Amino acid sequence: MADDRDDGMNDDLLGYNEMVERAMRSVVRQALDRATRGGLPGNHHFYITFRTDHPETLIPNRLKEQYPEEMTIVLQHQFWGLHPDDEGFDVELSFNRKHEHLRIPYDALITFADPSVNFGLQFHVEVEDDESDILAPTAASDEKGPLLNNSEDEPGAELDGDQPEPTDNVVTLDAFRKK
């Protein structure tokens, strides 16, 4: 018996990948909302990697020059003015003892992790220059530069290798994407 299936039968006409990405970004928003209302309880802290070249990312020019493609920030002890909304979040961090305002859209997120509970999410961000280029960096990627820590001990200090290790709890859509 011949296979009558159409070649387009495996096309995701409902947009499941987009739905899952949107749901994962909602998890980030909810975590940021909770941190806004009650601070970060216990040992919770967030590692957030984002595209600095996303058109809606707003960071100081000197940081954009230093991190032209992506940057990782840590929300732990010292951050101010955390305000998540439907499109992204605003936060003030200390870089070299100078407070700087950042606006990060959820669409610019690459990874979100809370190492205190071994939780992480990995997003796929399409680069505008080449829409076929989908980014999926790992925690060990050298491209994102140093991790910026905003701890009480050393505001704006760079961490050496204190990045969260990939875990089984990192959600990725690679297994479900067409090759």
Other C-beta atoms lying within 10 Å of the C-beta of residue 166: 15
Highest-pLDDT range among 85-89, 123-127, 159-163: 85-89
Summarize pLDDT for 111-153 with one digit per residue, the tens.
999 999 999 999 987 756 544 343 333 333 333 344 444 443 3
Q: List the CATH code of the domain at 11-176.
A: 2.30.30.220
Query: Which residues make Cβ contacts (< 8 Å) with residue 88, sequence separation at least 6?
Result: 56, 103, 104, 105, 106, 107, 108
Which residue type is seen at 56? E
Summarize pLDDT for 91-102 with one digit per residue, the tens.
999 988 899 999
Summarize pLDDT for 6-29 with one digit per residue, the tens.
555 688 889 999 999 999 999 999
CA angle 94, 84, 39 (to 5 degrees): 65
49-87: b (≥16 Cβ within 10 Å) or e: bbbbbbeebebeeebeeebebbbbbbbbebbeebebeee
- Which pTM value belongs to this model? 0.69
